[in-house]
Amino acid sequence: MYLDELLERAQLEQPDHPLLATFLPLVANEQELEKRAQSAWQQLAARTEPDAVALIGAAVTVLCIEQIPVEN
């Protein structure tokens, strides 16, 4: 299973899962990202479980990867 398939499935089964907010920059188009980015970040920042730091770190990593051009 590929990441895009996994995220699509998760969005159907668990639409409020914090990992979906983490991967929003990878799956949303620019308009959707602009609309949902603030609430996604707030959802991650509000987490208090021990995994919250890991989720926020993953979100920052995803955002950084989105800014790096990849050559094929």
DSSP 8-state code for residue 24: H
Which pLDDT does position 31 carry in this prediction? 92
The rounded distance, in Å, linking the Cα atoms of 40 and 72 is: 30
Which pLDDT does position 26 carry in this prediction? 79
C-beta separation of 37 from 24 below 8 A: yes
Could you tell me where the DSSP H helices lie in the chain?
3-13, 18-22, 24-27, 30-45, 52-67
Which pLDDT does position 30 carry in this prediction? 87
Which pLDDT does position 41 carry in this prediction? 82
pLDDT (tens digit, 9 = 90+) per residue, 24-63? 887 888 898 889 888 888 887 787 766 666 666 776 776 6
